[in-house]
A and B are shown apart, each in its own frame.
Chain A
Amino acid sequence: GAVVSQHPSWVICKSGTSVKIECRSLDFQATTMFWYRQFPKQSLMLMATSNEGSKATYEQGVEKDKFLINHASLTLSTLTVTSAHPEDSSFYICSARNVGAGDAFFGQGTRLTVV
């Protein structure tokens, strides 16, 4: 299948700082990328849909000023957690939709720990 690379795989940051997570489609173009959040032993919850060249669409209850999404190219989307707090600690996962085939493939996830 297609390859989606997410970086970093884990990050520890201090409360109040911002953290940027990158999601790259390595061998295909992705007009749409999705950002999910997953708490321990729970399912994936969609946070937002990122469309190349336009503003992201956020799911209900997700603060767009807290979770900034930028999809500047067909192969890269970034999620910035601003002014992070311990309750933002979670596993963040992106997926990218392959324009050609239409299927969505997942990155390996980023474990964020805010101390």
Chain B
Amino acid sequence: GENVEQHPSTLSVQEGDSAVIKCTYSDSASNYFPWYKQELGKGPQLIIDIRSNVGEKKDQRIAVTLNKTAKHFSLHITETQPEDSAVYFCAASNAGGTSYGKLTFGQGTILTVHP
């Protein structure tokens, strides 16, 4: 099955700095890679996703890059703000048939943005 590794486990930055979180996956059949933000006591919230036919996607301060050959994908947050502080999870999925939506998650990254 799929295995997703996420690094770092914790990340501390100053407000205004950039934050980068990296994930690797093992199953070459995976073709959908979402990123989730989870605040304490809440469910994960989708913040950005990328599909395997795209190398990069950007949404305001958030961007995701994908390297299919190396099986790497990364989340980039620029101009970080204290409200960005949360746990971030990457995930991978094979978007085919009944397995679509079945996600394998990384271990999570606790991001702390200091004012």
In angstroms, Cα B44 to Cα A4, docked, is 11
Against B, the Cβ 8 Å flags (1 = close, 0 = not) of A72-107 are 000000000000000000000101110000111111
The answer to whether B42 and A108 have CB atoms under 8 Å apart is yes
CA distance A93 to B39 in the complex (A): 13
Residues of A within 8 A of B (CB): 1, 4, 6, 32, 34, 42-46, 49, 51, 93, 95-97, 102-109, 111
Given A1-B46, A93-B43, A93-B44, the answer on whether A106 and B36 have CB atoms closer than 8 Å is yes
- CB nearest neighbor in B for A2: B46
**A6 x B43 contact (CB < 8 A):** yes
- Report the minimum CB–CB distance from A32 to chain B (whole Å): 6
Which residues of B pack against A, CB within 8 Å?
34, 36, 41-46, 49, 89, 95, 98, 100-108
Task: From B36, B42, B89, B107, name the one whose CB has the most chain A CB atoms within 10 angstroms.
Answer: B42
Interface residues of A, dominant DSSP: strand
Once the chains bind, are A32 and B101 in contact (CB under 8 Å)?
yes
